[in-house]
A and B are shown apart, each in its own frame.
Chain A
Amino acid sequence: MAGTTANAPRGRRIRVLIAKIGLDGHDVGARVVARGLLDAGMEVIYTGLRRTPEQVVRAAIEEDVDWIGVSTLSGAHMTLLPKLRRLLDEQGASDIRILAGGIVPQEDVSALLGKGVAQVFLSGTSIAEIVDYLLAQTAHA
C-alpha cells in the first residue's frame, strides 16, 4: 500500500508511558523527552501530574506499553519506584520495564537498578541517547 512512511502500516510501534508520580509538578523535562520520542516514531502516553503508583500501573497495563518513564525530581524515588515495580509484577506485567529520568543521586542509582528499574537517565541526557536505548532494548523494535 502506497503512502508516506508515516502513514504506511507499521509493525508494532514502541509505546512509552511517561508518568509523574507524587506531588512534584515540574514536567518540562518529561514533555521534552516525549517530543523526542514522538519524533523518533514512538507512541507516548502521558499520565498527567500527581498520579499514584496504582494509577500508573493501571494506565501502563491498559495501554499495553513497553516502557514506563518516570520523571522524578523531588527525591521520593526510592519509595515510589520500587513500589511501582512491585505493583506491576503483582499484576502480571513483569515485562513492562521502568526507566527513571531526572535527578537521582549516584548511590541511589545502583540501588534503583537493583530494585527493578532498568535504567536511570539523569537530567541533561541527550534525547538521542534515550531514543537509541529504547530502540536497542525493546524486544519487538
Chain B
Amino acid sequence: MNDPKRPFPTDVKSQAERWREETFGPAAAGHPERKPFVTDVGIGIEPLYTPADLERVGFDYLRDAGFPGEYPYTRGDRPGMNRTDPFVVSAYSGFGDAEACNRRFRKLIEIGTEQILVALDLPTQCGYDSDHEMSTAEVGQVGVAIDTLADMELLFEGIPADSIKRIGTLGNSIGPIVLALYAALGEKQGIPWSRYTVNLQNDPLKEYIARGTQILPPEPAAKLATAAVAWCVEHAPHWSPMTVCVNHLNAGGAGSSMGTAIALANARHYLDLLLKEGYSIDQVAPLLHLFPDERHDFFVSIANLRALRRIWARLMKETYGATRPEAMACRTTVYGHGQEALAEPLNNIPRTAFGTLAYVLGGASYVYLAGYDEAVSTPNEDSARVALRTLQILAHEHGFTDTIDPLGGSYFIETLTAQVEKQVLEGMERIERTGGALAVIEGGFGRQVMTQGAVRRQRAIDSGERPWVTVNLWPQKPNVPNTAFRGDPKATERQLARLAQVKASRNRVDVEAALAEVDRATGAGENVVPSVLKAVRAYATVGEIVELWRKRFGSFAPSTEF
C-alpha cells in the first residue's frame, strides 16, 4: 500500500512489471522486434518509463534537477532561458574571398541572423597564407581566405562589429591570431571592445583526434589557446574566446557520452593551465563554452545537454571551488544535424530540424543549423536561408520555447539524463586513469575510441540495425546535386592579388619589429596576444606569425596508431 513517507508510490514498480509482462508482452510477442532498441551511446531504451525508473536511478528533484539559473543548472544555465531570451539564431558561413563572403553575410543579417561564425578556408586554419604552396587548390574552398587584417576589414565592410549579437570564427590552431584580428577589426571600425562580442572556438586539443587542422604539438597549442582566454579576462570578459567541442569527437565516432568526457578532459586541461597562470576559476570558467553534440538519438541529445550542465556545475563547484554562478553554469553552443544522407538532399531539412529541436528543448543558448546540402558542400544561398528560417520557426512557432526545460520531470528524460551522466562520468574517470587530455591524444586512446565507434556505426548501418531512410530503408543511389555550391574561381585570383598588394604596401620595418616581438614574447612565456595584436595591426600575415611558432615548437607529428 502507499506509504505517505515515500514520495513515489512503491507499487508503481510492481504495476509496471505487471503491465510489461501481462499487457505489453503479449502484444509485442506478435511483432518481431523491428530493430534493437539501443541508442548510439549504448543505452537501451525501454518500451515505457514510470516513476519506478526515477526511483531506480535515485532521482531527487531538488538535488538533481533544481531550477533554471540555480545550481546544479540541470534545467537551465540561466534563469529565463528561452522564455525571456530565446536562443541566438546563428550561422556558420564563409567561402571564397572576403568580397564574395561579405555579400552573403549581409544577406544573412537581412533575413535575421543574430550571430555569424566565419568559416575560414583550410589554408588559413592551418596557418598557411593563400600564396603558400600547401594552399594550392584549397584557397577559399571550405571557408573564406583570411591572410591579413585587410581581409577582415573587407569581410565586415558595411557590417559594424556591433550590428549583430556576436561575431566570431573557429581559429582552432590560430586562436591568439583570430582574437587579435577581431579586436583590431573593432579598432578599425571605431567600435570599442565593450560594445561588441566575439566568439571563438579556439579548441586545439580536439583537432588532433577529430578534425585535423592542428599545427603545433598539443602542449604549446593548448598554451597559446589559453593566452586568448587570459587576454579576454583582462580586456573583454564578456567575450567567448573558447568553445570546447564534443561536436567533432562525436561525429568522428566517439559517441556523445565519450565525446563529452573527452571534451571535459580538454576543458580541464585548459582551465588547469589558466589556474597555473594565477587566474581564479571564477575568472576563467565563465569564458569557456561547451559545444555538445548528439545527432543520432533525439532524447539522448536532450539528456546529454542536461547531464552536461549538471556535471559541469558539480565539477566547477566541488573540484575547482567555483563560487560565481557564471562559472558553474555551462553555456552551450550547438550545431544542428541529423543523420544527413546524400540521396534526396531535401530530406535533410526535417532531419536537421529535428536534431536542432532536441537542442532547443535541451536548453542550448547559441544554435546553428546545418544546411541541407552541407554534407556535400558549403551551403548555397537557398540552403542557408532554409536553415535560418528553420531556426526562426523553432524559436517562435509551435510553442517550443514557451516554457523552460519542457521535458524536465519526464520519467524518460530524467532517467536518461541520469544514465548519460553516469556514462560521461565513467568516461572521465577512464581518461583520468589514462593520464588526461594529452595522454588521450599522444597515447592513441582517443583515435582508438573514434575508429572503433566509427566502425561500429558503419556496421550498424550495413546490417540495418540503425535504420536510415534512403540508405538502408528504401535505398536510393547517393547523389551529389550539381546545384552544390561552387566557389567563384576568380575569388582565388583576387585573394592572391590582394595579398600581394598588402605585402607591398605595408611598412616592412613595423612588421619585422612586430614579428620579432611576437617571437620574443612567445619564447619568454608571456601572453602572446598583445604582441600578436600589434603584428596584426601592422598587417603581418597569418602565415608569418604561425611560421614563428612552427619554428619554435615544431610541427605536430601524428601517432601511427590507426
The answer to whether A and B touch in the complex, with CB atoms under 8 Å apart, is: yes
Is the beta-carbon distance between A123 and B375 smaller than 8 angstroms? yes
- Given A36-B458, A74-B122, A105-B376, 14 more pairs with CB closer than 8 A: A22-B122, A23-B128, A24-B212, A25-B211, A26-B211, A26-B212, A32-B451, A35-B455, A48-B558, A105-B480, A105-B481, A106-B482, A122-B342, A125-B478
Q: Does B218 contact A (CB under 8 A)?
A: no
**A28, A48, A109: most-surrounded residue (chain B CB, <10 A):** A28
Residues of A within 8 A of B462 (CB): 126-128
Chain B, Cβ-Cβ closest to A26: B212
Complex formed: what's the CA distance from A79 to B487 in Å? 14
A-B interface contact total, Cβ < 8 Å = 100
Q: If the complex has contacts A31-B454, A31-B562, A35-B451, are A76 and B478 also in contact, measured as CB distance less than 8 A?
A: no
Within 8 A of A (CB), among B460-501: 461-462, 471, 478-482, 484, 487
Is the beta-carbon distance between A22 and B212 smaller than 8 angstroms? no
Complex formed: what's the CA distance from A97 to B481 in Å? 26
Within 8 A of B (CB), among A84-139: 103-107, 109, 122-128
Within 8 A of B (CB), among A57-72: none
Complex formed: what's the CA distance from A36 to B471 in Å? 18
Q: Does B55 contact A (CB under 8 A)?
A: no
Is the beta-carbon distance between A124 and B253 smaller than 8 angstroms? no
Complex formed: what's the CA distance from A27 to B108 in Å? 31
Residues of A within 8 A of B252 (CB): 26, 28
Residues of B within 8 A of A74 (CB): 122, 138, 141-142
A residues with a Cβ closer than 8 A to B are: 22-29, 31-32, 34-36, 46, 48-50, 52, 74-76, 78-80, 103-107, 109, 122-128
Distance in Å: Cβ of B442 to nearest Cβ of chain A: 16
Residues of A within 8 A of B376 (CB): 103, 105
Is the beta-carbon distance between A49 and B211 smaller than 8 angstroms? no
The secondary-structure label for the interface of chain A is loop
Complex formed: what's the CA distance from A78 to B489 in Å? 12
Chain B, Cβ-Cβ closest to A77: B137
Complex formed: what's the CA distance from A17 to B487 in Å? 30
Q: Does B134 contact A (CB under 8 A)?
A: yes
Q: Does B450 contact A (CB under 8 A)?
A: yes
**A23, A107, A124: most-surrounded residue (chain B CB, <10 A):** A23
Complex formed: what's the CA distance from A127 to B137 in Å? 29
**B135, B212, B253: most-surrounded residue (chain A CB, <10 A):** B212
Residues of B within 8 A of A80 (CB): 137
Residues of B within 8 A of A79 (CB): 136-137
Within 8 A of A (CB), among B179-223: 207, 211-214
Q: Does B86 contact A (CB under 8 A)?
A: no
Contact of B482 among A23, A24, A107, A124 (CB under 8 A): A107
Residues of B within 8 A of A78 (CB): 137
Residues of A within 8 A of B482 (CB): 105-107
Q: Does B377 contact A (CB under 8 A)?
A: yes
Chain B, Cβ-Cβ closest to A21: B137
Residues of A within 8 A of B342 (CB): 122-124
Residues of B within 8 A of A128 (CB): 462
Chain A, Cβ-Cβ closest to B456: A32
Contact of B471 among A48, A49, A124, A127 (CB under 8 A): A124
Q: Does B286 contact A (CB under 8 A)?
A: no
Contact of B455 among A25, A27, A32 (CB under 8 A): A32
Q: Does B126 contact A (CB under 8 A)?
A: yes
Distance in Å: Cβ of A118 to nearest Cβ of chain B: 18
